[in-house]
Structure 1
Amino acid sequence: MTAAISARNLRKVYSGSPDVVALADASIDIVHNEFFTLLGPSGCGKTTLLRLIAGFEHPTSGSLTMHGADLTHQPPYKRPVNTVFQSYALFPHMTVAQNIGFGLEMLGKPRSEIKRTVGEMMELVKMTEMADRQTGQISGGQQQRVALARALAPRPKVLLLDEPLSALDFKLRKDMQLELKRLQMETGITFIFVTHDQEEALTMSDRIAVMSAGTIRQIGGPREIYDHPTERFVADFIGDTNFVPAEVAANNGTDAQVTLSSGKTVVAKMPEGEAMQGKVTLAVRPEHASIGPEADGLLPGRLAEIVYFGTDTHYHVALDDGTGFVVRRQNRPDEAAGFTTGDRIGVQFAPGVGQVLRD
């Protein structure tokens, strides 16, 4: 696979009193024709990394290449990259078609080529009937499509998307998640997407880089990041997680036999390449666990609360070791609850679903 973007030891420090380290030491390879997401909370460095790729900022140290060519100190206009901003930045005095063709005009493309490309882009984003509308006369979702079409029209090698869905309402945002993935697959362009929304990242991405405090904490596919986080921050940031105290009894570097506070043992996954010993934390997703009779469970406790969510029910368990545990169970028509608040129960989960974490 060809690397579209390769970053090595990228660091960005803003001088001040004190200096602000926006990006500490980022090394990453983004594959050609990949939907790659930079995910993390505000201030984690994801937008800084995007701006370094775009050329709007220059690194304090480190290197950046695109398809093998050094980009580290190239100005933005010399990079085969386009950016879709959160605000869309459309020209209100222009029509949809004129907005889409603007970048091509600035590049001095022939009028026949501009007309043909604008037509193709409007068809791609399903805006053909809106060609002569002013951008102030179309909805937020339609404006976002125009911004995407304008960015795609010059056929950049890499498209950067800086939280472009954040201004949309919930339903439209869900629709546009699928639309963005469709566009990426149809155009074959590498998309680098920035978001703080875990669901967006899991829905659209081929791979995700989870960031915190200017560093990349874990890179992997959506299922890998969700099911096998390597450290507590990643497990806590992506979805809901139960953190269970445990102790490693034996391990082979891939799987570990861990002893729970109840004294019972279960097999759990180890972070790749590590062989931790002693006291550890085990991450177990709520939907990967179940509740049943106390004698059958790995962790005994009392059912403290039952919360109905329509599609599923959350069972909050006060474990005997003093910690809490949430079990999520999908609801089925006419299914009896089986347990009531105050019941003694046991939490159960299958071997291999728990993940041993780094602190």
Structure 2
Amino acid sequence: MPVEPSATAGAGKTASSRTMISVDRVTKSFGSGNHLVTALDDVSVKIRENEFFTLLGPSGCGKTTLLRLIAGFELPTSGQILLDGEEIGHLPPYKRPVNTVFQNYALFPHMTVAQNIGFGLEMQGKPKADVDKTVQKMLAMVRMEHLAGRRTDQLSGGQQQRVALARALAPHPKVLLLDEPLSALDLKLRKEMQIELKRLQSETGITFVFVTHDQEEALTMSDRIAVMDTGHILQVGDPKEIYDRPARRFVADFIGDINILNAEMTAVKGDVGEVKLASGATITARLSSASVQPGSVSIAIRPENVGLCGVEDAARTAIGTIENAVYFGSGTNTHIALDGGGTIVARNSGETGAPGERVGVILPDRHLQVLID
């Protein structure tokens, strides 16, 4: 699932090396006794100033709980959270320099767009002239000047989302938290709003912390991604690193399409391993971690990196039989049953073989990776 970088990626301000949010060994449990549930288990992560940082994972992984802890809607069971160097565990939500955009936007339907955007500033006691000036600036930023006087219950979903963003950005918080704000939008509008969100983050210089279970959404917008599962952060990295160099089997399987084959690693030489496939072929693959030891392992390769050739081709790594070929518009996924066991998918944009045809399979060493289970 290669993703084109957004039109605004790299534009405007760039993330600094300065830490804005520091989560230090945070655990969050709910309930007690036999009903105790640990939503976050000893989680640590640092989020940089002016960074678009995404918490990515399946439902129940702990990403929204972590967001709520930063916002102050929940308190950690143990550990601490620092925001711009200050421990914020004792601060109620309204005293934290943080704003949140919720999944349902939580707009005031009886107010106009402009009134919604200015509401928070008015609650802070800002002078009317300053409020009006900021509202006009926010309207221009989200490109809604022409709708300033319209009530929010008369807007489309995408327009409501822009108002919610403008309202949250108006006080210029140090951090903006976004809890799956695009999930209610249709596919085309969601893709448009992905670009808009990245543009707004780049223009404002505010740290965005974005929660989603959508892998493509995370890859498209993020400076860095934290992949979560069962209350743990499994890997943190930029989109290319997460996609091309997944450290664990869960990360590889969760992010995009990938082939995972069982194999036997016979030796380690530096940062690569010598691996024997079920077919008997011996290959080399990068190690995802120095802790990977010889023995039974999983190796991974993306479908777009798998090559097909004739069975007599000297470059082939394995031989198999085509089971089916699925055309999806920009290319074809060819499913191959490998001799010796296992199946693999090759993705290409050209001609492919027919079911039952014997083919050679090329697995380039530079695209193979040994995973931690």
What's the TM-score once normalised by structure 2's chain length? 0.93
Q: 1:277 to 1:31 in 2, by over 3 A?
A: same
Supply the AA of the counterpart residue of 2:19: A
- Other-structure match for 1:312: 331
Q: Which moved more, 1:77-86 or 1:17-26?
A: 17-26
The yes-or-no answer on 1:4 pairing with 2:20 is: yes
- Other-structure match for 2:225: 208
Quote the Cα distance in structure 2 between the aligned partners of 1:128 and 1:193.
26
For residues 157-182 of structure 1, what are the alpha-carbon distances to aligned partners after superposition, in whole Å with 9 as ceiling and x for unaligned?
00000000000000000000011000
* C-alpha contact (below 8 Å) 1:262/1:298 kept by paired residues: no
Note the 1:42-57 alignment, pairs <5 A: 42-57=59-74
- Other-structure match for 1:351: 365
The yes-or-no answer on 1:100 pairing with 2:117 is: yes
Q: Which moved more, 1:246-255 or 1:285-294?
A: 246-255
* C-alpha contact (below 8 Å) 1:96/1:134 kept by paired residues: yes
Q: Which moved more, 1:295-304 or 1:235-244?
A: 295-304
Quote the Cα distance in structure 1 between the aligned partners of 2:331 and 2:90.
52
Supply the AA of the counterpart residue of 1:215: H
Q: 1:108 to 1:253 in 2, by over 3 A?
A: farther
Q: Which moved more, 1:313-322 or 1:102-111?
A: 313-322
Quote the Cα distance in structure 2 between the aligned partners of 1:25 and 1:321.
42
State the SS of the aligned residue for 1:340: coil
Cα deviation for residue 14 of structure 1 reads 0.5
For residues 300-338 of structure 1, what are the alpha-carbon distances to aligned partners after superposition, in whole Å with 9 as ceiling and x for unaligned?
11001011111110100011122111111124xxxxx25
Quote the Cα distance in structure 1 between the aligned partners of 2:311 and 2:164.
57
State the SS of the aligned residue for 1:120: helix
* C-alpha contact (below 8 Å) 1:85/1:163 kept by paired residues: yes
Q: State how many pairs are aligned.
A: 354
Quote the Cα distance in structure 1 between the aligned partners of 2:270 and 2:163.
50
Q: 1:123 is matched with which residue: 133, 140, 152?
A: 140
Q: Which moved more, 1:319-328 or 1:86-95?
A: 319-328
For residues 244-298 of structure 1, what are the alpha-carbon distances to aligned partners after superposition, in whole Å with 9 as ceiling and x for unaligned?
1222233234222322222223221112433421221101111110111123321
Q: 2:172 is matched with which residue: 155, 166, 175?
A: 155
Supply the AA of the counterpart residue of 1:9: R
- Other-structure match for 2:279: 262
* C-alpha contact (below 8 Å) 2:245/2:369 kept by paired residues: yes
Q: Which moved more, 1:105-114 or 1:293-302?
A: 293-302
- Other-structure match for 2:6: none
Quote the Cα distance in structure 2 between the aligned partners of 1:325 and 1:203.
26
For residues 35-66 of structure 1, what are the alpha-carbon distances to aligned partners after superposition, in whole Å with 9 as ceiling and x for unaligned?
00000000000000000000000000001001
Q: 1:187 is matched with which residue: 204, 217, 241?
A: 204
Quote the Cα distance in structure 1 between the aligned partners of 2:45 and 2:144.
35
Quote the Cα distance in structure 2 between the aligned partners of 1:338 and 1:195.
35
Q: 1:64 is matched with which residue: 51, 59, 81?
A: 81
* C-alpha contact (below 8 Å) 2:325/2:352 kept by paired residues: no
Q: Which moved more, 1:310-319 or 1:66-75?
A: 66-75
Q: Which moved more, 1:264-273 or 1:175-184?
A: 264-273
The yes-or-no answer on 1:223 pairing with 2:237 is: no
Quote the Cα distance in structure 1 between the aligned partners of 2:288 and 2:332.
30
- Other-structure match for 1:342: 356
Note the 1:81-92 alignment, pairs <5 A: 81-92=98-109
State the SS of the aligned residue for 1:251: strand
The yes-or-no answer on 1:302 pairing with 2:321 is: yes
The yes-or-no answer on 1:198 pairing with 2:212 is: no
Identity %: 59
Supply the AA of the counterpart residue of 1:179: E
Supply the AA of the counterpart residue of 1:205: S
Quote the Cα distance in structure 2 between the aligned partners of 1:323 and 1:62.
44
Quote the Cα distance in structure 2 between the aligned partners of 1:228 and 1:59.
32
State the SS of the aligned residue for 1:294: coil
Quote the Cα distance in structure 2 between the aligned partners of 1:62 and 1:237.
28
Quote the Cα distance in structure 2 between the aligned partners of 1:266 and 1:120.
58
What's the TM-score once normalised by structure 1's chain length? 0.96
State the SS of the aligned residue for 1:53: helix
Supply the AA of the counterpart residue of 1:298: T
Structure 2 portions without partners, runs of 5+:
1-16
Supply the AA of the counterpart residue of 1:324: T
Cα deviation for residue 76 of structure 1 reads 0.7
Note the 1:231-270 alignment, pairs <5 A: 231-270=248-287
Quote the Cα distance in structure 2 between the aligned partners of 1:89 and 1:253.
54
Quote the Cα distance in structure 1 between the aligned partners of 2:109 and 2:128.
22
Quote the Cα distance in structure 2 between the aligned partners of 1:327 and 1:338.
10
Supply the AA of the counterpart residue of 1:10: V
